[in-house]
Structure 1
């Protein structure tokens, strides 16, 4: 049986942002963001990632669109085109109990872009896209219970905590939003 082949991420625009498909040219920006310990402080033990891990991240971002028809967008400022982050939906096949049952939403913003309302603006556009494009009518996310800014953002976007789980020997909040 052949799997369907999908295309790249559709372009979404907001008042201040462009959400676009990743390209090879985005690798250095992804690597720089992923190496920043401030950006990664609540993810996977809190250390920055090396270029090898960032390369795998970029390939996953692009591959999700090709295989599943959803994935992550590169987030850029409309004025000047500066890369400021990554966000979207994924299926990471996480070893978490109970298993996630819907596309997982996630977000990362460069340190300089945090605290400006960009995440809220971009995630609202992505959720609007997801309401018509995602299977199952819902999305989930996992967040460290110490990551108060992301928890606050998730609540603002309509997510609610469903339970806590262990993931890589760390407790995470599992949150969900239905469309």
Structure 2
């Protein structure tokens, strides 16, 4: 099965996809990122005693803001009118990690995969930023699209 890249024109130049004629559909995407750290760092975050404040609340806000600004960060993304963005942060002390799951929704002509991925990435980076004074070897891992619905390509799920 051969597919062409949508963000490259016939001359091989990068360009923004023309979505003018596409149909408006309900679109949703979910993404994930994993932040691995020491048990001590995770316990500090979970206790609420971190000297920089509520790490999870800050990471959640960062993820939401990042989703809304995706077209400013990723050059060929369309600016989108998101109707919903969620950022869930789930600590897993038994695995010394935080699982971040994001969801972005809209009614539109183009998908929200990049917004969901950007939200997950920004939330993970915020956790790192707030905890780097305590632990420098935190690992951000497994940033991936979990699911997307809507549009011509239909439903995708990992």
TM-score of Structure 1 vs Structure 2, range by shorter chain: 0.3 to 0.5
Instruction: Tell me which of the two structures has the higher relative contact order, counting C-alpha pairs closer than 8 angstroms and 6 or more residues apart.
Output: 2
- Highest CA radius of gyration, 1 or 2? 2
Q: What TM-score do you get using the length of structure 2 for normalisation?
A: 0.33
Q: What TM-score do you get using the length of structure 1 for normalisation?
A: 0.30
Higher helix proportion? 1
